[in-house]
């Protein structure tokens, strides 16, 4: 079994690394704090962007800062980080499936299938469930596969690496690391042998985490928090911390139910049961989300976002479904029910399955499989998704397996063929290239100029691509819950520059986490050059970057089809 684990870990990691680099590479948000930590981009100590960049502690940004100082470019590091996210994602999925199925080939293929069909992804309860992709939110993506990888390694008794990564979890993502330290620790109560075997490596991980934390905060000025600003942001702006409808909890039911049903199986090995226990306990710990309904909720709990924990059980359901299907040939009907009940919006899927179960017709079964394959091909070539079954290719395999005794169909061979198709089609995405915008020359010209930039409304990665400080990242105001002390200064900038008030936001910013694309446009276009000069002296910016359809009463420095760079002064070139 040791050789199987090592082989799966290495091969799935290489596959994920290639997919991340060649399919999903794009700008990574974690590099922006690294620019500040490394000193490549300098801010005044009290600047909202500076304070957040330091308080957004992660060992990832610290390592990236070292690489930046060594001369690596932001684009190279973005590509490398995209590959690492892909590697961790594929390893987490493959090892989790291996802990259940015990089949190496099946475990290596499953990540391609889940990635292509996006079965892993959903809206979540209050936070999206992401695996990998063009989303640039490094921390928002990496925490889930990282935690899943830790649990998979512990499940497979890889205590050295699993324990080390467990201790490092808070340094990768502080809030998720803290929550799953609680979840995994509670799971250890079932088996204290595991914790004894891992204790040394966990302590090493915690020691590295403590050193990383000390280095990060040693130079941060102590500023009193501003809870009233955090409360206003959570009540009006925050897209992740709110009183979610309780009906949305149906998303955790499939994973929870399947875990509760199978956790008592005596023929399941102990390592498989550990993953099931984590699913159950993560739902229990997720109940801390009750904090969203409290009138005076503790700020620390709001910051830690407990509803994020539910994403683990939502994501793991598909892994449990596929892994246990492979392990037990006599439980296909149960899995078919789970598969259908988990996606109630797919009414046509329910009807087709019902027809097949009633008619037991080979032609209809063949039609279902063929239509799913055709849907995959159409999606790969034309970008279409005409048949809902395209996302649930495992269902035809389950249907076939129900009639195995009648039609002599090999369940496992059928599943391998179906999953193999997704591997081929996933490879076809490589030709589409990465998600880097084709405007490097424009941002290179901006980077040659000096001074702070003012960016209009919702703009991403401006600091990352120009190495110039920005007054405020209007599209990502959601760092306020992590650094509430910047609230007064942030709101002062918003009111004076953008004409927006945190305590009384416009409707188009409701639960968006930041400004909308049109925020402040009319105000900016009405300002005279003299008014802009006064603002620039007050806040310290020298250039203004806007969308291409914004017309400011200022001299244009450079433009392209998407952006315009304005200068405050005619001779500032």
Q: Is the pLDDT of residue 299 over 60?
A: yes
- With cut-offs at 50, 70 and 90, classify the pLDDT of residue 219: low
Instruction: Write down the pLDDT at residue 117.
Output: 66
Percentage of residues in the chain having pLDDT higher than 70: 77
Per-residue pLDDT, 115: 79
Confidence of residue 420 (pLDDT cuts 50, 70, 90): low
State the residue for tokens 């029910």: 337
Alpha-carbon dihedral angle through residues 178, 184, 190, 195, given to the nearest 10 degrees: -90
pLDDT digits (tens, 9 = 90+) for 221-234: 666 678 889 889 99
pLDDT of residue 452: 95
* Residue scoring higher pLDDT (332 or 541): 541
Say whether 240 sits in a helix, a strand or coil: coil
Q: Where are the domains of the chain?
A: 2-230+247-327, 333-406, 440-567
Question: Looking at the predicted structure, is the pLDDT value of residue 372 above 90?
Answer: no
Determine the angle formed by the axes of helices 310-327 and 332-341, rounding to 10 degrees.
Answer: 150
Most confident of 286-295, 380-389, 537-546: 537-546
Task: For 42-76, write each residue's pLDDT tens digit.
Answer: 998 889 999 888 888 999 999 999 999 999 999 99
pLDDT at 365 over 60: no
Which residues have C-beta within 8 Å of that of residue 20, sequence separation ≥ 6?
Answer: 82, 83, 84, 85, 86, 87, 89, 132
- Residue 422: what pLDDT? 53
Q: How is residue 252 written in tokens? A: 């955790």
CB 320 within 8 A of CB 263: no
CA nearest neighbour of 491 among 231, 155, 259? 231
Enter the pTM of the model: 0.84
Read off φ and ψ for residue 451, nearest 5 degrees: 100, 175
């Amino acid at each position: 079994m040791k050789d199987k684990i090592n082989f799966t870990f290495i091969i799935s990691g290489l596959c994920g690394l290639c997919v991340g680099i060649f399919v999903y590479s794009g700008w990574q948000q974690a590099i922006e704090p690294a620019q500040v930590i490394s000193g490549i981009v300098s801010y005044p100590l009290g600047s909202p962007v500076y304070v957040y960049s330091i308080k957004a502690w992660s060992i990832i940004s610290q390592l990236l800062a070292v690489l930046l100082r060594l001369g690596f470019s932001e684009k190279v590091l973005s590509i490398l980080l995209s590959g690492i996210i892909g590697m961790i994602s594929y390893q987490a999925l493959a090892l989790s499936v291996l802990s259940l199925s015990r089949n190496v080939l099946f475990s290596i293929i499953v990540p391609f299938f889940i990635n292509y069909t996006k079965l892993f992804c959903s809206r979540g309860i209050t936070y999206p469930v992401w695996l990998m992709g063009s989303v640039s939110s490094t921390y928002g993506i990496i925490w889930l596969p990282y935690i899943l990888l830790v649990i998979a390694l512990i499940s497979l008794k890889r205590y050295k690496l699993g324990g080390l990564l467990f201790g490092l979890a808070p340094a990768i993502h502080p809030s998720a690391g803290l929550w799953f330290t609680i979840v995994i620790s509670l799971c250890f109560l079932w088996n204290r042998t595991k914790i004894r075997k891992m204790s040394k490596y966990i302590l090493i991980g915690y020691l590295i985490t403590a050193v990383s934390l000390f280095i990060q905060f040693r130079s941060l000025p102590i500023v009193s928090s501003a809870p009233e600003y955090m409360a206003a942001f959570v009540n009006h702006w925050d897209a992740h911390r709110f009183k979610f409808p309780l009906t949305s909890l149906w998303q955790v039911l499939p994973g929870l139910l399947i875990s509760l049903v199978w956790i008592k199986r005596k023929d399941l090995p102990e390592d498989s049961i550990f993953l099931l226990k984590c699913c159950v306990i993560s739902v229990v710990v997720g109940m801390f989300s009750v904090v969203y309904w409290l009138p005076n909720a503790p700020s620390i709990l709001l910051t830690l976002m407990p509803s994020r924990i539910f994403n683990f059980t939502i994501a793991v359901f598909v892994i449990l479904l596929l892994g246990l299907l492979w392990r037990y040939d006599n439980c296909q009907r149960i899995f078919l029910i789970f598969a259908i009940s988990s996606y109630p919006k797919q009414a046509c899927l329910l009807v087709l399955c019902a027809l097949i179960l009633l008619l037991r017709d080979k032609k209809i079964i063949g039609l279902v499989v063929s239509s799913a394959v055709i849907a995959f091909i159409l999606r790969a070539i034309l970008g279409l998704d005409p048949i809902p079954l395209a996302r649930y290719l495992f269902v035809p395999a389950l249907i076939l397996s129900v009639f195995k005794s009648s039609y002599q169909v090999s369940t496992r061979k059928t599943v391998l063929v179906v999953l193999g198709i997704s591997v081929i089609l996933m490879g076809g995405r490589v030709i589409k290239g990465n998600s880097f915008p084709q405007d490097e020359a424009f941002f290179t010209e901006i980077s040659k100029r000096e001074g702070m930039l003012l960016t209009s409304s919702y703009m991403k990665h401006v600091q990352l691509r120009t190495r110039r400080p920005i007054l405020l990242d209007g599209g990502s105001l959601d760092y306020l819950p992590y650094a509430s002390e910047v609230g007064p200064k942030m709101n002062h900038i918003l009111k004076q520059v953008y004409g927006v008030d945190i305590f009384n936001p416009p409707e188009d910013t409701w639960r968006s986490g930041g400004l909308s694309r049109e925020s402040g446009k009319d105000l900016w276009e009405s300002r005279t050059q003299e008014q802009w000069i006064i603002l620039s002296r007050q806040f310290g910016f020298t250039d203004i970057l806007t969308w291409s359809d914004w017309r400011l009463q200022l001299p244009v420095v450079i433009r392209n089809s998407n952006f315009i760079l304005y200068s405050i002064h005619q001779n500032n070139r």
